Amino acid sequence: MEQVGFFTKKETQSLSRPNGKKYSCSVCGLYKDLETPRMEPFGNFKKGILNIGSTYSKLEDHLGKPWQSASGRLLEKTYRELGIDLFEDCLNINSVRCHIGEDKPPSNYSIEACRSSIFKFIEKHKPKTIILFGFPAIYSFIGSRWQKNLGTIAKWRGWTIPDQDFKA
């Protein structure tokens, strides 16, 4: 299969959209000029916990590892207090698999471009628990399946919802 940069020709084309491109990392364009384009999930997943965050920071892109910012250190400390190791017990991904540049939330378009790869990771690893951090993660995980207005992060904060599609 012919490669187009990081992607095969098949990954960049589809008949499902008018312009012939499907939602994928290549149409998003964030992968350009990154040290870690399309960052892979990180962690040993010993307890079957999947953490989905928003997007990677510049530092995380440079190190090729998620949760390296202040919020990541807080998450790691909080999990440790609960007897969970963030990198041994969990698998960690973000709703957008590339660093988006400035400190701003990812666009819905970028999230939609990465959604299929997020779902593939979920199907492959079959997590027992999926924890969503931030509205981009919520939009990534349920935005395509929720028929009503998603609202804001405040609407979803604190909910525990059994997911029938992914059995998590």
- Over the stretch 110-163, which tens digit does the pLDDT of each residue have? 888 888 889 999 999 999 999 999 999 999 998 888 878 888 888 888 888 888
CB 127 within 8 A of CB 119: no
CB 71 within 8 A of CB 5: no
pLDDT at 5: 44
List of E strands, the chain: 3-4, 7-8, 49-53, 90-94, 129-132
Average pLDDT estimate for 84-104: 86
pLDDT digits (tens, 9 = 90+) for 18-49: 455 566 666 666 666 656 667 788 999 999 99
Q: Tell me which of 162 and 82 has the higher pLDDT.
A: 82
pLDDT at 53: 93
- pTM here is 0.80
Out of 2-6, 131-135, 163-167, least confident range = 2-6
d(CA 122, CA 130): 9
> Over 90: is that where the pLDDT of 103 sits?
no
pLDDT at 12: 44
Domains of the chain and any CATH numbers: 37-156 (3.40.470.10)
